[in-house]
Structure 1
Amino acid sequence: MTANIPHPVVTRDRWIAERKTLLAQEKQLTQARDRLAEARRALPWVRLEQDYVFDTAHGPRRLSELFQGRRQLLVQHFMFGPGWEQGCKSCSFMADHLDGMAAHLAHRDIALLAVSRAPLAELLAFKARMGWRFDWASSNGNDFNRDFHVSFAPEDRKDGEVYYNFHMTPFPKDEAPGISIFYKDDAGDVFHTYSTFGRGVEVMMGTYNLVDLTPKGRDEAGLAYTMEWVRHHDRYEDAPAGAACCGGAKA
């Protein structure tokens, strides 16, 4: 059992008064988020000159063929490099939210796709272990990850920094997380409309929105984006027996 959290205790009237003050701040944030979403939709687009070919469970497919009959495609740049024993735990935390959202997003003309640089066989084995249903494609044979600055070759590093999140920055790994949005028009042309990286990927982490409502919150050190408490969902200490259906991966 966890220890109690020291905290002020007040009357109901005092609580209501302070809650109303916080409510005003929350409304300001909601309105600011609405304005930000409008500005995001107003961004200009970039036409893709290359129709990348991916390895998928249905054979080689071009990016333009992965929209599942829809105009919009949301891609999770999932950190999973060739030869890794398992996918990144934080990217897995993100991906845990996808299947529940898929039907709702489909009715907003949005298809979902995870993309990683690991070979397809490695992705599918991990997908089976985690029990996921969303589509996952391998970019192992193309430059998609490097072009969108979520995979880094040695020559991409300059003085220990790589181009990530739209600026040069230190990044310790060869793979990075992100989300990118694409649109396909009637002519079949594909446009890049938006990408977000770093803590911007929290938009996919609905669990955090609920955790942030609670007294303990994320229970992370300071303001750092540590996610130290997060595990693969079959690697928590109280995970049900047999949750790891494929085995072989280390925590």
Structure 2
Amino acid sequence: MSTSSTETNTLNHPVVSRDTWLAERKTLLAQEKELTRLRDRIAGERRALPWVHVEKNYVFDTPEGKRSLADLFEGRRQLMVQHFMFGPGWEQGCPSCSFMADHTDGMQIHLEHRDISFVAVSRATLPEIARFHSRMGWKFKWVSSNGSDFNYDFHVSFKPEDRVDGTVHYNYGMVEFPAEEAPGISLFYKDSEGRIFHTYSTYGRGVEVMIGTYSMLDLAPKGRDERDTFYKMEWMRHHDRYETQAVFTPAPVAHACCSDKA
């Protein structure tokens, strides 16, 4: 059996006394505290960003019928949207977006108690969404933007004419992106007069904020244990498609949705 470079590095790791380990751990702790303070500061700067008034009347297909963007707030002031990569005619949703979505149901009640409604939005038709939603056993609300400009306006879906020399406008710049759909997270606020404002969107590796599993893997001795490829999440499978035995077996590349370059 071949040994991965990550495993080799792990096996060759230095082993020291508890006192030496503690001294190095305290040095790292100081850096971790610095990162925590930096994260808090950036979060404050994020909240201080100016807002954009959403004037277009976006309409979505939902299990309850046609609903506007305002309806998706469901009585709350804030709305979090997962731009889920799932195009019309696709057999299933993107594995990486599904990995993100696997973390949603558990946190939804906590978001709602902080005045935030959550919804996933895809261009796939509602029957296609419903079929995959049922297969995955998820409970969160998922609606279709099919026939709407919503995905295009937020730069997570691309028409052939959107490509310029092989690049599309994604993550606030022109980048190479091989798929017609892309991942993202967008936040909206609705005021007492019913006006809706776009407050924030994050794309590329920014969507990792939804992936608590990655935070846990980052604590582990082998870390994320991903190969140094453009699409580092090649190991990812839908949670009902893993083999019975938990072993590392890279899956075929599906979408380069969370690459370093995106």
1:19 aligns with 2:22: no
Q: For the structure 1 residues 108 and 184, does the alpha-carbon distance in structure 2 shift closer, same or farther, using more than 3 Å as the test?
A: same
1:227 to 202, 226, 233: 233
Correspondences of 1:77-226 after superposition (within 5 Å): 77-222=83-228, 224=230, 226=232
- Segments of structure 1 that go 5 or more residues without pairing to the other structure are 241-251
| Cα distance in 2 between the residues matched to 1:224 and 1:43 | 31
2:62 to 30, 39, 56: 56
Q: Aligned with 2:110: secondary structure?
A: helix
Partner residue of 2:52? Answer: 46
Moved over 6 A (4+): 1-4
- Residue identity matched to 2:116: I
| Cα distance in 2 between the residues matched to 1:29 and 1:51 | 40
Aligned-pair Cα RMSD in Å: 1.6
**TM-score of the two chains, using structure 2 as the length reference:** 0.89
Q: For the structure 1 residues 2 and 234, does the alpha-carbon distance in structure 2 shift closer, same or farther, using more than 3 Å as the test?
A: farther
| Cα distance in 2 between the residues matched to 1:34 and 1:239 | 40
| Cα distance in 1 between the residues matched to 2:78 and 2:244 | 38
Q: Identity of aligned pairs, percent? A: 68
Q: Aligned with 1:8: secondary structure?
A: coil
Q: For the structure 1 residues 172 and 18, does the alpha-carbon distance in structure 2 shift closer, same or farther, using more than 3 Å as the test?
A: same
| Cα distance in 2 between the residues matched to 1:100 and 1:22 | 31
Alpha carbons 1:184, 1:190 under 8 Å: kept: yes
| Cα distance in 1 between the residues matched to 2:207 and 2:172 | 14
Q: What CA deviation, in whole Å up to 9, does each residue of 1:108-166 have, x standing for no partner?
A: 00000000000000001100000000000100010000000000000100111100000
Q: For the structure 1 residues 65 and 133, does the alpha-carbon distance in structure 2 shift closer, same or farther, using more than 3 Å as the test?
A: same
- Segments of structure 2 that go 5 or more residues without pairing to the other structure are 247-262
**TM-score of the two chains, using structure 1 as the length reference:** 0.92
* Paired positions, count: 240
| Cα distance in 1 between the residues matched to 2:121 and 2:244 | 30
Partner residue of 2:34? Answer: 28
| Cα distance in 1 between the residues matched to 2:230 and 2:16 | 31
2:76 to 61, 65, 70: 70
Q: For the structure 1 residues 223 and 41, does the alpha-carbon distance in structure 2 shift closer, same or farther, using more than 3 Å as the test?
A: farther
